[in-house]
Amino acid sequence: MEVSYKYVSFFFVGILIFVLIGFHQTYTTKFPTFEGLTTAHHFHGAMLMAWFGILIVQPLLIRYNKREWHRQLGQVSYVLVPMILFSIFWVSKTQYLRTLPQMPHNVVIGGLALSIPDILAFGLFYALAMVYRHNSALHMRFMIGTSILMIGPGLGRALIIYGGIPFPIAVEATVYLTEVLAAVLLFFDYRKGKSRMPYGVILITLIAMHLCFHFQMAGWWQSFGGWFAAVFY
């Protein structure tokens, strides 16, 4: 394991803390009735907590030379990741059907710009991590990419709930933060002579996701989002 990533598990724990803080008011405080929440929300939360468990444990197994355990736990992801992708889709569909009678159709379609790109990005980063599973440096960076995608939902909610920041501004702020983080990691790899490909792909993907959100009311997104909703929702 690279020295600079020796303690990467703490990075994942830090993101998990932001997620837990962000979802505290909208999820954990609703225990035990969980009023307003559905099976889709519970399933989604369980899948992401399982993913955080893998992210945190796997680097520790490598660090302490438990490579066979690392390999066996990694095989769990072949089942877990499709379930995560389905959980994002399920929550997105639930929210779409819930808000459709309450808001203009174009606004609801615009809101899909926060969920559909997440499905594609998470799937892309995981697929690349598996393609490069025998190259620990590249594999680890794409796994980090999946964790960066989770910063926005947790931190964004925290800014809205505890900071009183309007929803669009909170989303823009978290998106910029993840882009800066990816750019900094890319710069460090450039300085060290490492491959710029992983964080380059991650940064470009984050920028593309940002553009989807920023132009959610544009004709091209409305057409795509409308088609997606009509076919899958």
Q: Hey, what are 138's tokens? A: 């590249």
CB 206 within 8 A of CB 179: yes
Count helices and strands (H / E) in the chain. Answer: 10, 0
Q: Which residues contact 100 (CB under 8 A, 6 or more apart)?
A: 108
The CA distance from 137 to 129, in Å, is 10
CB 167 within 8 A of CB 160: yes
As a residue count, the chain comes to 233
**59-88 residue pLDDT tens:** 999 888 898 999 999 999 999 999 999 999
The CA distance from 33 to 155, in Å, is 25
> Which helix or strand (DSSP H or E) is residue 76 part of?
helix 67-99
pLDDT for the residue 144: 97
**118-158 residue pLDDT tens:** 999 999 999 999 999 999 999 999 999 999 999 999 999 99
Query: Residue 177: which of 158, 194, 196 has the closest Cα?
Result: 158
Output the pTM of the full model.
0.94
Mean pLDDT of the region 19-43: 92
pLDDT for the residue 189: 95
Domain ranges of the chain: 3-232
